[in-house]
């Protein structure tokens, strides 16, 4: 085992213990490359086994309001600069790849039109989903299992399973062939 793996393992164990003392539920342990994510708010946070975070260049930021819930499934990878803002619920499935500088929000936090109110709806991301760099996922979106979101996309509507979607606003480009047990690496 090389020195970098040993450091990453020790850092992951330390951060896991630290986060558990803050009430964050971690199934096993996390893996952190670079700077650890900034986590704020008093909501519920659950990380599956071996969730990986990368913090080179820019740090990940997670804000979970009281009575809100953030859940990230086992073996998912969260890249540098990711911002997840939760006022209701954000759920990321297992084996997901979240690219650099992705923004995931379940609320627009402000009225768009007078009297329209604030839109807050859960965001659900299925298993084995890849979200490309600089994409934005907006409130109420569901992304189906095995889907890919192209870099720089703004996802305003739900994407069905096994779909490649891209653009602003994101639209489905084509279907993706993937067996149920396929895991993207």
CATH of the domain at 132: 2.160.10.10
pLDDT tens-digit profile of 117-129? Answer: 888 999 999 999 9
How many domains, in total, are found in the chain? 1
Average pLDDT of the residues in 159-176: 97
- Predicted TM-score of the model (pTM): 0.91
Tell me: pLDDT of 182 over 90.
Answer: no
pLDDT score for 95: 97
Does residue 183 belong to any structural domain of this protein?
A: no
Active site residues: 110
Average pLDDT of the residues in 10-34: 84
pLDDT score for 180: 87
Does residue 130 belong to any structural domain of this protein?
A: yes
Q: How far apart are CA 12 and CA 15, in angstroms?
A: 5
Q: For 169-174, which contacts have Cβ atoms below 8 Å and span 24 or more sequence positions?
A: 170/135
pLDDT tens-digit profile of 52-71? Answer: 999 988 999 999 999 999 99
Domain that holds residue 133: 3-175
Does residue 63 belong to any structural domain of this protein?
A: yes
Q: How far apart are CA 68 and CA 44, in angstroms?
A: 6
Does residue 40 belong to any structural domain of this protein?
A: yes
Does residue 32 belong to any structural domain of this protein?
A: yes
pLDDT score for 173: 97
Q: How far apart are CA 18 and CA 36, in angstroms?
A: 11
pLDDT score for 124: 98
Q: How far apart are CA 80 and CA 106, in angstroms?
A: 20
Average pLDDT of the residues in 157-163: 97
Radius of gyration of the chain (CA): 16
Does residue 181 belong to any structural domain of this protein?
A: no
């Amino acid at each position: 085992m090389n020195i970098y793996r040993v450091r990453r393992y020790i850092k992951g164990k330390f951060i896991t213990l630290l986060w558990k003392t803050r009430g964050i539920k971690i199934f096993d342990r996390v893996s952190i490359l670079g700077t650890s994510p900034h986590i704020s708010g008093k909501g519920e946070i659950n990380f599956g086994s071996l969730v990986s975070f990368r913090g080179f260049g820019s740090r990940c930021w997670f804000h979970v309001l009281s009575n809100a819930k953030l859940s990230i499934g086992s073996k998912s990878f969260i890249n540098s600069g990711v911002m997840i803002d939760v006022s209701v619920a954000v759920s990321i499935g297992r084996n997901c790849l979240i690219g650099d500088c992705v923004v995931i929000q379940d609320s627009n936090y402000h009225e768009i039109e007078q009297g329209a109110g604030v839109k807050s709806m859960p965001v659900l991301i299925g298993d084995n989903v890849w979200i490309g760099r600089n994409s934005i996922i907006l409130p109420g979106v569901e992304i189906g299992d095995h889907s890919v979101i192209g870099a720089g996309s703004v996802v305003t509507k739900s994407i069905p399973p096994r779909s490649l979607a891209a653009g602003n606003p994101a639209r489905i480009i084509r279907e993706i062939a993937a067996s149920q047990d396929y895991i993207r690496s």
